[in-house]
């Protein structure tokens, strides 16, 4: 996974970006990563599910269905004969947020994203006290060994920071969501009285991960999300989240951020809407704080209710067994 991240970032640094556009604001505008010139373009339709790029054509201020321009999109999304559509019916915006980083800055970011996690785990490994790993309820998948090792320290005062870092890293892995959930539960169960601190730390971790992903998307372009997380964009959660945000705007972003679903749609919607980094990250931090405060209290006082967050009982049992006696 680390190697994949290096390759993805290296590609982002070296590759020339294609122009990519999204329909937005109920199909009244096109948000594009570059100045829009006549010719073929890739367009994401904000009402399609699953979302995927369509090859369309831009000619004379009109968005055409083909090179011949037999039909054009009118304001609101209707496809009409091009003679019936006014020039500039769809307002075109170039996203200022998509400016390129310098190559040295992008390379330094790539190195930091890979080296920092390795350094943290090696430091923990060198200072770890030998202790038997839990004999039952092993975490599944490639993360099991790391999780088993880290859970030995669940009672330590700094463990919420480890859980928070796992949450940040999972923005790029996604498949280790179960492992990061176990780390958060253990951060609370290891010392129940610190559940507010563990909750706030995890919200900060999610915001940190969102910030790094936001930097990468700004450097590479909005197409980076589709290239790196194609299954995420094709998921029902993505389409549902986009629908809420298109309907409720900033309130929809806050709602999505506070739910136990992925944050990638929030970042994409914020960029497409031309929001600043500070606004997007403030929404993510606010929403994730709400989510983890509720989860933290439930974990500390009524862990059986975690099933309503979509957390399997096996994960709760695993974290409970691992933190016994700590």
Distance, in Å, from the CA atom of 221 to the CA atom of 44, rounded to the nearest integer, reads: 14
pLDDT at 280: 94
pLDDT at 123: 57
| Other Cβ atoms within 10 Å of 290 Cβ, number | 17
pLDDT at 162: 87
pLDDT one digit per residue (tens) for the chain, 326 residues? 433 433 344 444 344 455 678 887 778 888 887 788 888 888 877 666 556 678 888 988 899 988 888 899 998 888 899 989 998 888 888 765 444 455 556 566 666 665 665 555 555 555 444 444 443 344 444 456 666 677 777 778 898 998 889 889 888 876 677 778 888 888 888 888 889 999 999 999 999 999 999 999 888 888 888 888 888 888 888 888 999 998 899 999 999 999 988 899 999 999 988 889 999 999 999 999 999 999 889 888 887 888 777 777 777 776 777 676 55
pLDDT at 146: 67
Would you say 11 and 17 are in contact if contact means Cβ atoms under 8 Å apart? no
With 0.75 as the threshold, say if the pTM is over it: no
Distance, in Å, from the CA atom of 51 to the CA atom of 228, rounded to the nearest integer, reads: 14
Would you say 27 and 92 are in contact if contact means Cβ atoms under 8 Å apart? no
Distance, in Å, from the CA atom of 258 to the CA atom of 206, rounded to the nearest integer, reads: 11
Distance, in Å, from the CA atom of 269 to the CA atom of 242, rounded to the nearest integer, reads: 7
Distance, in Å, from the CA atom of 64 to the CA atom of 208, rounded to the nearest integer, reads: 40
Distance, in Å, from the CA atom of 46 to the CA atom of 27, rounded to the nearest integer, reads: 8
Instruction: Give the pair of three-digit tokens for residue 151.
Output: 């859970």
Distance, in Å, from the CA atom of 227 to the CA atom of 222, rounded to the nearest integer, reads: 9
User: Which of these, 317, 211, 193, 241, lies nearest to 50 by C-alpha position?
Assistant: 241
Distance, in Å, from the CA atom of 151 to the CA atom of 322, rounded to the nearest integer, reads: 6
pLDDT at 119: 59
pLDDT at 208: 94
Distance, in Å, from the CA atom of 2 to the CA atom of 4, rounded to the nearest integer, reads: 5
User: Which of these, 261, 259, 274, lies nearest to 99 by C-alpha position?
Assistant: 274
| Other Cβ atoms within 10 Å of 39 Cβ, number | 10
User: Which of these, 219, 206, 220, lies nearest to 256 by C-alpha position?
Assistant: 206
pLDDT at 255: 94
């Amino acid at each position: 996974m680390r190697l994949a991240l290096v390759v993805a970032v290296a590609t982002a640094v070296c590759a020339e970006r294609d122009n990519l556009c999204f329909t937005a604001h109920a199909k009244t505008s096109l948000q594009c990563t570059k100045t829009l010139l006549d010719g073929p373009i890739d367009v994401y339709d904000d009402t399609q599910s699953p979302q995927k790029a369509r090859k369309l054509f831009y000619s004379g201020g009109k968005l055409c269905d083909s090179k011949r321009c037999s039909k054009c999109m009118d304001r609101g999304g209707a496809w009409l004969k091009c003679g019936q559509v006014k020039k500039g019916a769809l307002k075109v915006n170039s996203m200022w947020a998509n400016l390129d980083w310098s190559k040295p800055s992008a390379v330094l970011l790539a190195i930091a994203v890979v080296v920092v996690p390795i350094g943290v785990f090696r430091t923990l490994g060198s200072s770890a006290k030998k202790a038997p790993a839990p004999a039952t309820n092993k975490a599944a998948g490639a993360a099991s060994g790391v999780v088993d090792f880290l859970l030995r320290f669940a009672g330590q005062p700094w463990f919420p920071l480890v859980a928070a870092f796992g949450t940040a890293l999972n923005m790029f892995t996604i498949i280790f969501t179960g492992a990061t959930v176990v780390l958060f539960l253990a951060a609370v169960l290891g010392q129940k009285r610190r559940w507010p601190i563990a909750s706030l730390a995890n919200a900060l971790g999610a915001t940190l991960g969102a910030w790094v992903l936001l930097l990468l998307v700004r450097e590479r372009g909005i197409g980076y999300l589709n290239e790196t997380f194609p299954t995420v964009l094709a998921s029902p959660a993505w389409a549902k989240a986009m629908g809420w945000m298109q309907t409720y705007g900033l309130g929809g972003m806050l709602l999505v951020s506070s739910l136990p679903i992925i944050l990638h749609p929030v970042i994409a919607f914020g960029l497409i809407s031309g929001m600043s980094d500070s606004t997007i990250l403030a929404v993510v931090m606010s929403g994730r704080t709400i989510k983890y405060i509720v989860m933290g209290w439930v974990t500390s006082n009524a862990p059986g209710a975690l099933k309503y967050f979509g957390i399997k009982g096996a994960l709760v049992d695993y974290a409970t067994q691992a933190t016994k006696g700590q």
